[in-house]
Structure 1
């Protein structure tokens, strides 16, 4: 049996509820207690002031999203667009105590439960984003019950994503559909200018809710217009106005999103993206000396709806970049246990692969990212485009895989450098891996390529993966990224 006791403070319209029950129920009532404490002390959370700022989603992100949408069966997914909605708060209850010998007792309608939150967690269990749906909604809070019972809290939604996932704020999908495929998407967002719990700029999210005091009422037996003409009810509205104001300010303080997005580059505890709405007050909170039988309660406050982009950037030490059929996949199969597809045609590698190699007796590992081939014009979305280059952005070094059976290996190096662009090569160590060193005229081409590489202060190593002649390749990779220093 639940035991409860009402005690009236200096705000008779709000009654504190003391429960001897489980901590899960008490926690929701403690939130009401914190709001009550603010009202008792005349405190209202500070307001967030915002300015309008330009916000950009890069063309490479949008292009990858469009390409993945056009595929019927995805074997690998590194970009997705998701709509998220936190739960609404449960409505307050209109109820009166019933007992033997009493037709109508005091009001005992409980408060609605808070809506569920949306959380996200980086997990090593997943390698891409294909397990995610397009829409997630947290559960709404349950309505309050009779006998002063608080409604149950709505269940949270926890999204598990691979380590290395980055999350961006996005406008609704309807705004993105009409964007030209060869340009960035720009829009305006509200950015907090007076404070932020995030480093750098912070986007102020918006949720729909009723007006302070006058909105969000549930009436029984009498129409709304009649109640708002009642002076006893309007005095309650004045007090509820401050209660709603505190809730609205608290919502603005949590409805924030970092301008640069969330970067989940290490496994960790869940991060709360969206907070559910607060439950509405039951009629037990509105009894006063002049209004003994309130037949009204408050609706729960709404949750918040946001669209986000997720982009997976694999965590690797060094990334392999080369032209199609340059021998990257054969090299990976030779030096590791990874088994990417190998063939005599372009684009045998259609998705990024990660290979892990032990490079020392103490268990030190080298992680290598093998991405699909780059061709001339890739920066203009020819071939596989440049979308998969996101998987080498976190790498300390880049290994350009150059085949010695090509007519001019130096020209191939310059083609790759041109397609990658200076910004992707900045602050990264470069290694040239000269593959297919067993073909005719390979020695002459290697010497010419070596001279070119040394002039740029890079390192170079020859190999023939087909003949298992890859000695020194792994050590050179480890030296390039400083693993064995």
Structure 2
């Protein structure tokens, strides 16, 4: 299924039915009085968060959604039937924005959450509604009220605890495939990942977290190079970023430190709050480095980058270093959840001295 994370739709609630002017007329019952009923209310448009959906593709082609109008009132004290409601099922993590007022209506963060998007109009009053002791034969009625109509922008941001970012071919898809049940496309050419992938990492009984893998960034992404910044929004709800850097690039002219700095620069251009999230360095493809050079190369990378946070050196192919990484991530997330720490604080989880983990 094609991954679609943005869509623009129109929603229109139903109009209320008009009231009715009618009088009771039966044999031997003169002056039967008013019996015109009220009109039915118009149908409303709702959005419901559905955990079984992971894309907005249904709204890429179905752009307009209309609820039913209320029926008009009738004689013999009959009120009009209400119009049918429309329920739009959307993925968890969808942000709904009113384009005309440029304000967020709702964020669907809980499965089953139901939000009113457009309210149906109320039905009009029939002459039965106006009957009183001084007005025995009212001939007044009111039309139904119109329903709301809105233009909405839908934006999906996946819900994940940990986000992976890095250059193309840094090993993000290989890592998420090694530690979770996700099976993304893996190949030896850039941009094999074209849309975000989610994987659930099981640490132990009732201990798990969700990892999001997004397409790789390159220098100049803010100007549209590569796939640009279009998928970075999916990292904005994460609590920890794992910055993957290829420590053994095939091209010896490629500098891993320069690549790491380029990623940080692109993050700051896109969203300073995202760049300020807790971020750990993960040096990948350790199996391609001779054993006697691994420690020296890791220390040289940390020294040149002037990195003061945690550093993990792993090989997803041989699974070297994966277990310490997974348990450290789980411990970090557990502390955040327990202490209810502001995850946007860049100082959280950053030790004074660099911490190197090598399986």
Shared fold (TM-score greater than 0.5)? Answer: yes
Match 1:346 to one of 190, 194, 203: 190
1:393 aligns with 2:236: yes
Match 2:287 to one of 433, 438, 442: 438
C-alpha deviations, 1:40-90, integer Å up to 9, x for none? xxxxxxxxxxxxxxxxxxxxxxxxxxxxxxxxxx71111111111111101
Structure 2 partner of 1:376: 219
What's the secondary structure of 2:303's corresponding residue?
helix
1:306 aligns with 2:233: no
C-alpha deviations, 1:419-454, integer Å up to 9, x for none? 11161445421111111112246725333223346x
Conservation of the 8 A alpha-carbon contact between 1:436 and 1:463: yes
Conservation of the 8 A alpha-carbon contact between 1:93 and 1:110: yes
C-alpha deviations, 1:439-475, integer Å up to 9, x for none? 246725333223346x432111112222333342322
CA–CA separation in structure 2 for the residues paired with 1:404 and 1:282: 78
Alignment gaps of 5+ in structure 2: 339-359
CA–CA separation in structure 2 for the residues paired with 1:260 and 1:271: 12
Match 1:416 to one of 251, 260, 263: 263
CA–CA separation in structure 2 for the residues paired with 1:79 and 1:480: 32
What's the secondary structure of 1:466's corresponding residue?
coil
1:464 aligns with 2:315: yes
Alignment gaps of 5+ in structure 1: 1-73, 172-188, 190-202, 204-258
Structure 2 partner of 1:99: 26
Deviates more, 1:151-160 or 1:371-380: 151-160
CA–CA separation in structure 2 for the residues paired with 1:413 and 1:482: 27
Under a length normalisation based on structure 2, what TM-score does the superposition of the two structures give? Answer: 0.82
Q: CA deviation at 1:260?
A: 4.4
Conservation of the 8 A alpha-carbon contact between 2:71 and 2:81: yes
Q: 1:415 to 1:479 in 2, by over 3 A?
A: farther
CA–CA separation in structure 2 for the residues paired with 1:337 and 1:79: 26
Structure 2 partner of 1:135: 64
Q: CA deviation at 1:269?
A: 3.9
Q: CA deviation at 1:271?
A: 2.0
Q: CA deviation at 1:412?
A: 0.7
1:263 aligns with 2:110: no
1:164 aligns with 2:69: no
Under a length normalisation based on structure 1, what TM-score does the superposition of the two structures give? Answer: 0.62
Conservation of the 8 A alpha-carbon contact between 1:429 and 1:481: no
Q: 1:112 to 1:267 in 2, by over 3 A?
A: same
Structure 2 partner of 1:46: none
Bigger RCO (CA 8 Å, 6+ sep): 1
Where has structure 1 moved over 6 Å in runs of 4 or more?
A: 288-292
Q: CA deviation at 1:360?
A: 2.5
CA–CA separation in structure 1 for the residues paired with 2:225 and 2:32: 76
CA–CA separation in structure 2 for the residues paired with 1:307 and 1:75: 24
What's the secondary structure of 1:346's corresponding residue?
coil
Q: CA deviation at 1:481?
A: 3.5
Structure 2 partner of 1:66: none
Conservation of the 8 A alpha-carbon contact between 1:376 and 1:419: yes
Q: CA deviation at 1:294?
A: 5.4
Conservation of the 8 A alpha-carbon contact between 1:84 and 1:137: yes
What's the secondary structure of 1:415's corresponding residue?
helix
What's the secondary structure of 2:111's corresponding residue?
coil
Q: CA deviation at 1:325?
A: 1.4
1:121 aligns with 2:39: no
Aligned residue-pair number: 325
Q: CA deviation at 1:128?
A: 2.1
CA–CA separation in structure 1 for the residues paired with 2:85 and 2:241: 41
Q: 1:408 to 1:476 in 2, by over 3 A?
A: farther
Q: CA deviation at 1:367?
A: 0.8
Deviates more, 1:128-137 or 1:373-382: 128-137
Q: 1:94 to 1:472 in 2, by over 3 A?
A: same
